[in-house]
Amino acid sequence: MENSGYKILLVDDEPDILEFLGYNIRREGYVVFTAGNGKDAVAIAKREKPQLIILDVMMPDMDGIETCREIRAIDGLKNVMVAFLTARSEDYSQIAGFEVGADDYINKPIKPRVLLSRIAALLRRHSNSPEEDLNGKINLGGLKIDREKYIVVKNDLEINLPKKEFELLALLASKPGKVFTREVILDSVWGDDVVVGDRTIDVHIRKLREKLGENFIKTVKGIGYKFEF
């Protein structure tokens, strides 16, 4: 089947959920691995290199947040897609997940059709992730980003951006569709040495939209921003 080239790792401390999810996902032809805790999940992920990890937030010993943090620290797994399973709808749990590198959230109770649709969308994002060549250039269709020269080219028109605007754009464009929280943006672009507020991010986003158009950078209310193309 066409999905047989994709490996998916399911992580949940409830065997019934693993069986239910695994059955529905395998029916679509995906190769499925399961883990009942975070420690086993990290070991299986290192060994199998899945394209997608579906990870429960609430687990004993090592919860989903810590598991995701450990997975993201492994060189070969930095670009794996991670979707959290959660029965919690509070914003703070989603923000915590996005801060450690989550790509999406799937809420319990889980409907098979919704789950399979989200999986397909996540794997499309994984397949369409921009490739950075040896010269540090990223091609996003109509937009090209040259990390070495700090230059952006849109439809063959060169756009020179100030350093922080460029770094902000490069961060968001590094994973199209992924939500970057304000905290992650501040840490990645400005670091700990400079004290800036949320208003600083908003101003830089506004300037980028003025130069690139309104379609590339989307606001995720209460959380942060994401890049789409």
Cβ neighbors of 174 (< 8 A, separation 6 or more) are 130, 138
- Asked whether the beta carbons of 222 and 178 are under 8 A apart, the reply is no
**Interval 38-75: pLDDT, tens:** 999 999 999 999 999 999 988 988 999 999 999 999 98
Looking at residue 131, what is its pLDDT?
54
CA distances from 217 to 68, 157, 204, 212, 214 (A): 25, 19, 11, 9, 7
Looking at residue 11, what is its pLDDT?
97
Bond prior to 60 in cis (omega within 30° of 0): no
Looking at residue 92, what is its pLDDT?
58
Residues of the chain with pLDDT under 50: 133-134
List the one residue out of 192, 149, 184, 144 whose CA is nearest residue 168.
184
List the one residue out of 125, 159, 127 whose CA is nearest residue 142.
159
Looking at residue 194, what is its pLDDT?
62
